[in-house]
């Protein structure tokens, strides 16, 4: 397979910092997808990012901790809570490699209207749980509650040894922003964080219909699963594409 050509380091984040948060106990699952099958899901000004003619979809459950506005202290109400996102990989004419969220389920109802308004992402309220049933295992469970009931995801992984990501895995995880429609225009929302510390992961259980609910058709076998203890991430001010 041809190796992706991109810079795996983030551009300096221009002030001000809008959000500061930690992404913890993250699992990454990916499948190939045909770019033509997903092209209609991207906002104007960006398109499916590809390697050797294929794009990818990701299923990424994790815990979010320590949300802070700007460089202030963490907001007490939010604490630690679970999220699961279904995402695609995007690039724009300026060469910025990002993600487009097809769905993002969260256990905090208050996050839903705020994130939909500020970041234009399709947040949903869900009943969620993240647990560690054994030292080397992580279990994620979610079922959507609002604005549409039903789609669910259950995942259990066994965490293995630390690994150096392949060029494709680095391309999938080293994403420094998102593309979204905010206020009727496509915007780039930049973020910055340290490189992911990654471990190999074995999928012990996977039952989900959130990918089908997003209208995404995988076109091949799932890639190697990965897990990370997490990183601290900062988000900058959205930038207009048009």
Q: Which pLDDT tens digit goes with each residue over 176-197?
A: 999 999 888 999 999 999 999 9
Reply yes or no on whether the pLDDT at 77 is more than 70.
no
pTM above 0.85? yes
User: What confidence tier does 68 reach under pLDDT thresholds 50, 70, 90?
Assistant: confident
Whether the Cβ atoms of residue 145 and residue 128 lie closer than 8 Å to each other: no
Reply yes or no on whether the pLDDT at 111 is more than 90.
no
Catalogue the E-assigned strands of the chain: 19-33, 46-48, 55-69, 80-92, 97-106, 123-134, 137-146, 152-162, 177-182, 185-193, 199-208, 225-235, 239-240
Average pLDDT along the chain: 91
Specify the pairing of strand 19-33 against strand 97-106: unpaired
pLDDT in tens, 209-225: 999 999 998 999 999 99
* Fold classified for 21-240: Acetoacetate decarboxylase-like (2.40.400)
The DSSP bridge partners found for residue 55 are 33
Whether the Cβ atoms of residue 28 and residue 37 lie closer than 8 Å to each other: no
d(CA 14, CA 190): 9
């Amino acid at each position: 397979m041809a190796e992706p050509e991109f810079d795996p380091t983030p551009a300096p984040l221009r002030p001000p910092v809008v959000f500061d948060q930690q992404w913890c106990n993250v699992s990454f699952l990916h499948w190939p997808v045909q770019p033509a099958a997903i092209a209609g899901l991207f906002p104007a000004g960006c398109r499916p990012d590809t390697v050797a003619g294929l794009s990818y979809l990701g299923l990424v459950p994790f815990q979010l901790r320590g949300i802070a506005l700007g460089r202030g202290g963490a907001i007490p109400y939010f604490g630690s809570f679970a999220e699961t996102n279904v995402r695609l990989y995007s690039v724009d004419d300026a060469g910025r490699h990002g993600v487009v969220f097809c769905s993002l389920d969260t256990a905090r109802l208050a996050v839903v209207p705020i994130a939909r308004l500020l970041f234009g992402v399709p947040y949903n309220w869900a009943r969620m749980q993240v647990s560690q049933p054994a030292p080397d295992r992580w279990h994620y469970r979610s079922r959507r509650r609002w604005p549409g009931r039903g789609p669910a995801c259950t995942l259990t992984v066994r965490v293995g040894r630390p690994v150096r990501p392949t060029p494709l895995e680095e391309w999938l995880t080293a994403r420094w922003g998102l593309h979204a429609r905010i206020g009727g225009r496509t915007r780039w929302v930049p973020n910055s964080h340290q490189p992911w510390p990654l471990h190999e992961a074995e999928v012990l259980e996977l039952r989900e219909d959130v990918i089908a609910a997003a209208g995404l058709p995988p076109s091949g076998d799932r890639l190697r699963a990965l897990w990370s203890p997490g990183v601290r991430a900062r988000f900058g001010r959205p930038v207009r594409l048009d």
